[in-house]
């Protein structure tokens, strides 16, 4: 943390200012004497530290600055005569000048208190799996909801108010409350903007409850049970009320001992439909699907496997820079008992992406849905495994060729390293080394898979004290392609979309394709990651290439073991209309 005192000379007495940046790791007091405190960038309270803010202190937030209570406690206790003010550093403040004050699962709830605090001109307060006390505080002039909470938080306190915000309420996401919570903030109403909040796990559920898609896109819904499926699994009927808008398979099976299964939904034409799953004994569940011509957001990685109590970064990206005031994106977490995630994130004005952390709580699987006005939704499936090996769901390698495969662990390797035993079921199809070692303190290594003959086999990995992992291995020559094919010419500020496909159907587990630009200052591309689902040829979403400045760039699409695709993009200046004058001699 940088904490310095600067004197600002003026016509009157000198004014002391205290810049604050970085991470606060020790007990700290912000005093009236050293006020105002100027927060710059992302300020984080961590390491169990206690931050005390005295009455009358002013905290000025620089453009796009934010404060996150990651692990520790905050005591900001003003009084009626000397409130604590958290405001914009801008001389002409406006809603959305700065980001959010965020309380995460590491908040020491028993010691965290905001009292007689005035917070203004930002993007509000976000409370994620935390339960701070907030009393007699005022929230005003924010570009989003005054306060947003997830379904695992229990903030309490009376005497609060909210006015002149984009939403003068405590925003609550749709979903299922799976543990005891208290909605105890008094003075500001709670608001579920879309969908339904269900208390307790229903026998049958379909998540997310609402989904916005663009034509041609494939998304995954998750059908879930309150209890694991019995012997033989459970078969669910699936239907779409308007198949011409979005279609799906007619049945899905949740395997024995499992609690969920994915359902592919194909967006076909503009409109709205209802996807329903049903079972004679378990009842029904539904998702409203809207197919709209909207730009798409993306969440990367789309299928992360994370450890218990191990924060893992995810990236939310937009196809275009966020507008003035930034863009608040709601994150809906289908099961906050499996993993904790922010209830919302703010993409700062002029930026196209923001990083946030997801923390595993117990073994299981949950789904994150990103939603913002004017954009199609983005989805990510988060799997939590305590002390486990992790392999990609599928591996592709050409006959006679080799490919490198990432092997990860959800907890770092112990002292002396971790020896992982490897094998393939059919060595005539593909082979791997007998073992690899992950160095002490590391969480990742790579292994080589050697392809021999056309066919399919499985790869197994095991290590003492860790949950094992497996992956399907397909030995075949598969190329990444685009439609339309060939190179691309476009103008500055114009965007073009390309469908991405494989020369052959994706193997079991699907294929993840990385997308990048050789020069994002000339041509940008979104999203940075695509998925081709099991048995499919087309990626679930197209890529969008945008001309940024005149020049040439290369867009590369690659996946381990596949023949990569490169598209050359020539970006030209926007055409200008030229007017000429001439003399008429007639």
Q: For residue 407, give Cα distances in angstroms to 302, 446, 471.
A: 17, 6, 11
Supply the pLDDT for residue 8: 44
Q: What is the pLDDT of residues 262-277, one digit of tens each?
A: 999 999 999 999 999 9
Could you say which architecture CATH assigns to the domain 203-384? Sandwich (2.60)
Q: For residue 532, is pLDDT > 60?
A: yes
pLDDT of amino acid 1? 52
pLDDT at 581 over 60: no
Model pTM score: 0.73
Segment 313-342 mean pLDDT: 88
Per cent of the chain over pLDDT 70 is 95
Calculate mean pLDDT across residues 10-19: 60
Question: Does the pLDDT at position 151 exceed 50?
Answer: yes
How far apart, in whole angstroms, are the C-alpha atoms of residue 281 and residue 156?
A: 39
Cis peptide before 208 (omega within 30 of 0): yes
Q: What pLDDT sits at residue 193?
A: 77
Res 493: pLDDT: 87
Best CATH choice for the domain 480-572 from the list 3.40.50.1000, 3.90.260.10, 2.60.40.10, 2.40.160.10: 2.60.40.10
Contacts of 457 (CB under 8 A, 6+ apart): 424, 425, 426, 429, 430, 472, 473, 475
456-468 pLDDT, tens digit each: 999 999 999 999 9
Name which of 29, 25, 28 is nearest 70 in CA terms.
25
CATH C-level class of 389-475: mainly beta
- pLDDT confidence of residue 217: 86
List, in order, residues 6 or more apart from 11 with CB less than 8 Å away. none
Q: Residue 335: is its pLDDT beyond 60? A: yes
**What pLDDT was estimated at residue 586?**
42
Residue 37 reports pLDDT greater than 70 = yes
pLDDT computed for residue 15 by the predictor: 57
pLDDT for position 195: 72
Gyration radius from the chain CA atoms:
26
Range from 31-45, 56-70, 98-112, 346-360 carrying the lowest mean pLDDT:
346-360
For residue 70, the model assigns a pLDDT of 92
Domain residue ranges of the chain, discontinuous segments joined by +: 2-197, 203-384, 389-475, 480-572
pLDDT band at 409 (very low <50, low <70, confident <90, very high): very high
Lowest mean pLDDT among 242-251, 341-350, 403-412, 560-569: 341-350
- 575 falls in which pLDDT band (50, 70, 90)? low
CA 564/CA 481 separation, integer angstroms? 8
Within 8 A by CB and 6+ apart from 364, the residues are: 335, 337, 338, 339, 383, 384
Q: In what order do the strands lie in the sheet with 435-438?
A: 394-397, 466-475, 455-463, 418-424, 435-438
The pLDDT of 532-550, averaged and rounded, is 90
Phi, psi of 222 (to 5 degrees): -120, 115
The pLDDT of residue 521 is 93
Confidence of residue 332 (pLDDT cuts 50, 70, 90): confident
Q: Please say if the pLDDT value at position 10 is more than 50.
A: no
Instruction: Provide the mean pLDDT of the chain.
Output: 90
């Amino acid at each position: 943390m940088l904490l310095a005192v600067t004197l600002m000379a003026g016509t009157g007495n000198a004014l002391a200012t205290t810049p604050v940046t970085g991470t606060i790791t020790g007990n700290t007091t912000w005093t009236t004497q050293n006020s105002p405190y100027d927060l710059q960038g992302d300020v984080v309270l961590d390491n169990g530290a206690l931050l005390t803010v005295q009455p009358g202190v002013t905290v000025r937030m620089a453009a796009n600055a934010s404060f996150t209570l990651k692990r520790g406690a905050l005591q900001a206790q003003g009084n009626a005569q000397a409130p604590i003010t958290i405001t914009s550093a801008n001389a002409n403040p406006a809603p959305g000048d700065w980001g959010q004050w965020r309380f995460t699962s590491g908040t020491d709830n028993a010691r965290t208190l905001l009292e007689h605090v005035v917070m203004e001109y930002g993007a509000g307060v976000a409370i994620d799996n935390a339960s701070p006390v907030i009393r007699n505080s005022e929230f005003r002039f924010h570009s989003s909801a005054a306060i947003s909470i997830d379904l695992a938080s229990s903030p309490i306190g009376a005497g609060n108010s909210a006015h002149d915000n984009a939403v003068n309420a405590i925003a609550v996401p749709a979903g299922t409350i799976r543990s005891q919570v208290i909605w105890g903030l008094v003075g500001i109403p709670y608001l579920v903007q879309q969908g339904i909040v269900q208390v307790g796990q229903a026998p049958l559920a379909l998540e997310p409850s609402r989904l916005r898609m663009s034509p041609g896109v494939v998304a995954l819904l998750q059908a879930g049970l309150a209890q694991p499926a019995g012997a033989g699994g459970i078969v669910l009927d699936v239907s779409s009320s308007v198949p011409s808008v979005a279609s799906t398979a007619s049945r899905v099976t949740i395997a024995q001992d499992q609690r969920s299964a994915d359902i592919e939904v194909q967006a076909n034409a503009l409109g709205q439909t209802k996807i329903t799953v049903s079972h004679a004994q378990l009842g029904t569940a539904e998702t409203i699907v809207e197919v709209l011509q909207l730009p798409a957001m993306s969440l990367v990685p789309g299928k992360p496997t994370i450890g218990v109590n191990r924060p893992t970064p995810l990236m939310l990206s937009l196809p275009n820079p966020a507008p003035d005031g930034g863009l608040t994106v709601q994150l809906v977490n289908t099961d906050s008992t499996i993993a904790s995630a922010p209830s919302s994130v703010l993409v700062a004005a002029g930026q196209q992406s923001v990083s946030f952390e997801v923390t595993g709580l117990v073994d299981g699987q949950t789904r994150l849905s990103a939603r913002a006005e004017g954009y199609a939704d983005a989805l990510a499936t988060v799997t939590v495994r305590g002390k486990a090996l992790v392999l990609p769901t599928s591996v592709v390698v050409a006959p006679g060729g080799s490919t490198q495969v990432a092997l990860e662990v959800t907890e770092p390797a112990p002292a002396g390293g971790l020896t992982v035993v490897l094998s393939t079921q059919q060595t005539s199809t593909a082979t791997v080394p007998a073992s690899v070692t992950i160095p002490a303190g590391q969480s990742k290594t790579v292994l080589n898979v050697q392809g021999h003959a056309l066919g399919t086999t499985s790869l197994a990995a095991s290590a003492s004290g860790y949950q094992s992992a497996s992956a399907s291995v397909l030995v075949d020559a598969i190329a990444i392609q685009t439609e339309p094919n060939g190179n691309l010419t476009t103008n500055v500020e114009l965007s073009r979309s390309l469908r991405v496909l494989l020369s052959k159907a994706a193997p079991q587990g699907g294929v993840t394709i990385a997308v990048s630009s050789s020069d994002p200052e000339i041509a940008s591309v979104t999203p940075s990651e695509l998925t081709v689902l099991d048995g499919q040829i087309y990626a679930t979403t197209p890529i969008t290439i945008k001309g940024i400045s005149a020049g040439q760039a290369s867009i590369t699409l690659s996946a381990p073991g596949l023949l990569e695709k490169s598209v050359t993009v020539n970006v030209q200046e926007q055409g200008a209309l030229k007017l000429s004058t001439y003399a008429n001699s007639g």
